[in-house]
Chains A and B, each alone.
Chain A
């Protein structure tokens, strides 16, 4: 698309160069003279351009994971080189610790519920807001606000609002729904639903914006043509918009799953370091902070990191293999075609 535009604008300048460029587009490795001349310089440029980013990225994203795998085999307090080799003992402890199993269950619960609650809700809201209505731009900005606010601030606000004698229960009493008032945060059978509510509040706006963006990429001619052929509003949404939104929905699902697996800030802020496990909202990441950094057991913390890492990797690869197979690159980089 942009190539045609470029051709049109540059075409008047130099016909020869234009054709060479087109050929290079069609069959990319056609060597051009300029390239062959400065092969060494080309390599130098590539190294200079990509070197710094690669060093920082590998050094602080890839290398730590490798290091964690190493430290995970030691009992290590974080000082000097690790010497107390314990083999797979850390991993044995992790998988037999009921606290970790609970955290894992909570993460799984949150992954599934986030998809089941936020997905349809966001889709419905996006379909609704995708119509030509007044103030659409303003609506979009306002529903995005929760996503922009930091987890710490959302957490602080909600932990004050949701106290037994806090604003939420007070408001429920005021509108005559006092029987719904409850202990939102400490009651173990309610706390995780409270967490789901807060997560939905925080992230559904992002999902809606993402889906609206995807809908905008669907050519309007399609739904117009369908409508001329007599399709109803719902038929257009169901047969045209939602199917074409597939790549966007699948990408959102991926982001949602990864986000749910690494959930930390909100739980840690609202339920604190120790209460989260009794309230039933602990996650793998809060377990890792509690038993790694806070307990000073860096070997154990690293082992938990490796487990989290492998779980995320497995889930991500399975998702890519079975769900994103066709549109992983398409949806993120090249567009909803």
Chain B
């Protein structure tokens, strides 16, 4: 009886919260500003995508107009070229290899920093944290020289390896708190049950830190997909180009054929956007994790 009376206020309070919060539409001014913000954010994307459905004469006559009639030959033309698919394949290979490398090496070193006690632990964390201050662009000239010394110029691995190196700081910063948050008691219980430290790493720590791992992987993939300066320095022959270089090359080669350039640009942006659409919750949510740990 007492349980019922004491329990009663809670569901009532909670249901009260539920019912008046999400149904509130709020101030229409907020929606107006939000819509304006969204419109500005999406306008260039819409321009690129729709431009690919127009002819050059449509674009010349009315640069800001809509497709009328809709033309599919630009997209079809680009999709038929070997160039696009070759560059698409190169971008995919580089992005997957970089992501795997970043996640694997990042998880290992983060695990050591988060869950082992040793003298250099703090120094190691600071080393990677300091890496945040030196983005790829600042170091690109010497990095190129190293890549050249390794004989990796004009080779996709010449992009993958530096990308792994420069992806590690963010990865360590994001993963260490995730791995540290796993209660020591779980590890001890696993140890009592006969599981080794490394066994715990593979069978318990990785699954428990999975949200962080996924966030890191998505960030790594998109960063790799969009990387421009490293391929610009490292790759020489068009057969090895990734999509960002391809877009630039295509737009200077067909500078008179604006519609085709827009179709090519639009198609090369699609995979990253699709990837983002599928995992957006992880990315936007992951940033929350990065900020609040």
- Give residues in A with beta carbon < 8 Å to B: 2-3, 5-7, 9-11, 13-14, 17-18, 20-21, 24-25, 28-29, 34-35, 42-43, 45-46, 48-50, 52-54, 56-57, 59-65, 67-68, 71, 78, 125, 128-129, 131-134, 139-146, 148-154, 156-158, 160-161, 165-171, 174, 201, 205, 209-210, 213-214, 216-217, 248, 251, 258-259, 261-265, 268-269, 285, 288-289, 292-293, 298, 301-302, 304-305, 308-309, 312-313, 316, 331-336
Contacts and interface: CB of A to CB of B under 8 A. Distances in A.
Nearest to A169: B63
Interface string B252-268: 00000010011001001
Contacts of A167: 47, 63-64
Contacts of B10: none
Interface stretch (B67-75, B76-84, B102-110): B102-110
A6 B180 CA distance: 12
Contacts of A129: 30, 34
Contact of A60 (B34, B162, B265): B162
A165 B63 contact: yes
B226 A336 contact: no
Contact of A21 (B42, B188, B228): B188
A209 B118 contact: no
Given A61-B166, A157-B44, A10 B30 contact: no
B131 interface: yes
B166 A17 contact: no
A118 to B, nearest CB: 13
B287 A293 contact: no
B192 to A, nearest CB: 6
B112 A285 contact: no
B146 A67 contact: yes
Interface string B1-39: 000000000000000000001101111001101100110
Contacts of B128: 57
Given A57-B169, A304-B141, 12 more contacts: A20-B188, A50-B108, A53-B172, A56-B165, A59-B146, A64-B142, A128-B30, A132-B21, A132-B22, A148-B273, A151-B226, A264-B229
A125 B37 CA distance: 9
Nearest to A332: B173
Contacts of B258: 160
B185 A50 contact: no
Contact of A331 (B140, B164, B225, B291): B291
Interface of B: 21-22, 24-27, 30-31, 33-34, 37-38, 40-42, 44-45, 47-48, 51, 60, 62-65, 101, 105-106, 108-109, 111-113, 116-118, 124, 127-129, 131-135, 137-146, 148, 161-162, 164-166, 168-169, 172-173, 176-177, 181-186, 188-189, 191-192, 197-198, 201, 222, 225-226, 228-229, 232-233, 244, 247-248, 251, 258, 261-262, 265, 268-269, 272-273, 276-277, 280, 283-284, 287-288, 290-293
Contact of B165 (A50, A60, A153): A60
Contact of A64 (B137, B145, B172, B273): B145
A312 B133 contact: yes
A65 B183 contact: no
B283 A57 contact: no
A10 B269 contact: no
Contacts of A301: 141
A298 to B, nearest CB: 6
A57 B168 contact: yes
A141 B228 CA distance: 24
Closest 4 CB pairs of A and B: A6-B183, A150-B226, A64-B142, A60-B165
B42 A142 contact: yes
A170 B64 CA distance: 6
A305 B108 contact: no
Contacts of A263: 137
A11 B184 CA distance: 12
Contacts of B112: 45-46, 49-50
